[in-house]
Each structure stands twice: as C-alpha cells, then as structure tokens.
Amino acid sequence: MFLTLLSFIDLYSKRIPKILLLVFVVFNHQLFSQFNKDDQISDILYLKNVDIDSTIIGKTIHIDFYYDSYGKQRGDTISLLVEKTPIPFVELRRDNDSTQIFSQQYLESSTRHEDLILRISSFKVINISEKILILSADIRYYDKSDIMYPIKVVTETFQIQRKTITKVLVKKENNNTLPYARKPSLDN
C-alpha cells in the first residue's frame, strides 16, 4: 500500500500541484485508518455498572470485578462459594484493541479444589436488584493434565454484590439491540 502510494506520488508529482497531492495523501490515510478501526472483531457488549438493568436478564455474561481488566491477561480475584466451599477465582482475559471474543474470557480457580482446576466460562443473569445480581453458572472441574474435557460439571447460583462489579460483558446475539452497549475505551 505504502509503496503504491510512493509510486503514485513519484509518477504524478510533476503534474499535480503539491497541495493537492498532500490533500490526497492525508485523505487516504484518514480513510484507511477509519477502515481499520471498524474492522475489529468483537462479540462482546460492555456495560458499566450504572448501565446494568433488567434488559440483560436471561443473557449470558462475564463480570469484570473490582478494577477494569480490559486488555490484561490476568485480572482481579474474587471468592465464590462452590459446593459450600469458598474458592478464589481469577479473571483470565484475552481481549485487546482489535479482538474481543466472549469465549476467551473466563474465571479460573487460583487454587486447586479436590486437586482439580475449576473454570466458569460464563454466567446467566437470573435477576437484578439495586444491590445484587443473581446469576447461575456451570462450574467445570478439570484435571491439570487435560484441560479440554471437564471431569464433572456443577451448576451453582450466585448473589454478586453490584459494588464488586466494574463492567458486565454481554455476549452479543445476532440482533442484540441494547441501546447503550459500546466497546471499551481507555478513559472509562
């Protein structure tokens, strides 16, 4: 692309006034920069805590706890009760400026439980109140030698305090029309 532009400039520089050439180069740069921004891959809608309302009941979500973990591989740690035992989970994320894939975000136990790794791939929103979100999740137990296939799966219901939530990541559906959903920005 750049070499083509240089060839064009060299070939036509004698015929085209320099100011028009400059306008052409700047316009093309802006056009291609905008195209690249719109070429992002994402199946996630990001909602700030204040934007969480009943429109996400029944939706599949992830939670960004405490501090914004966008763009970090390891995020915050949260303790959740699994089979009546408190288990510390850490946020594991693989999102960046150009790619945000819902299935690549999850919680994983930071300690072993029954000598197994526990993973929560997503939550389902059951209910929302002013102070808590009621969620259900399948907790998958993995042997460290085979992280592809769970040994067992347990479904739990959680009450998550809203004050622990920075953002909710909602899995986009084909025609998801949440009016305030937006991609994250660095100034959030």
Q: What is the pLDDT of residue 134?
A: 97
Q: What are phi and psi of 32, to 5 degrees?
A: -75, -30
Place of tokens 């316009």: 27
Q: What are phi and psi of 9, to 5 degrees?
A: -60, -45
**DSSP calls for 102-167:** GGG-EEEESS-BTTBEEEE--EEEEEE-SSEEEEEEEEEEEBTTB-SS-SEEEEEEEEEEGGGEEE
> Where are the domains positioned within the chain?
2-38, 42-171
pLDDT, tens digit only, all 188 positions of the chain: 544 555 555 655 555 555 555 555 555 544 444 444 445 677 888 899 899 999 999 999 998 887 665 555 556 789 999 999 999 999 887 766 667 788 888 999 998 888 899 999 999 999 999 999 999 999 999 987 777 788 999 999 999 999 999 889 898 876 544 444 444 444 44
- Give yes or no for a contact between 31 and 141, defined as CB atoms under 8 angstroms apart: no
Distance separating alpha carbons of residues 13 and 64, to the nearest angstrom: 53
Tokens of 37: 């921004």
What's the Cα-to-Cα distance from 155 to each of 64, 75, 86, 135, 150, rounded to whole Å?
20, 23, 15, 11, 13
Report the relative pairing of strands 44-48 and 74-82 from DSSP bridges: unpaired
Q: What is the pLDDT of residue 103?
A: 84
Distance separating alpha carbons of residues 51 and 27, to the nearest angstrom: 37
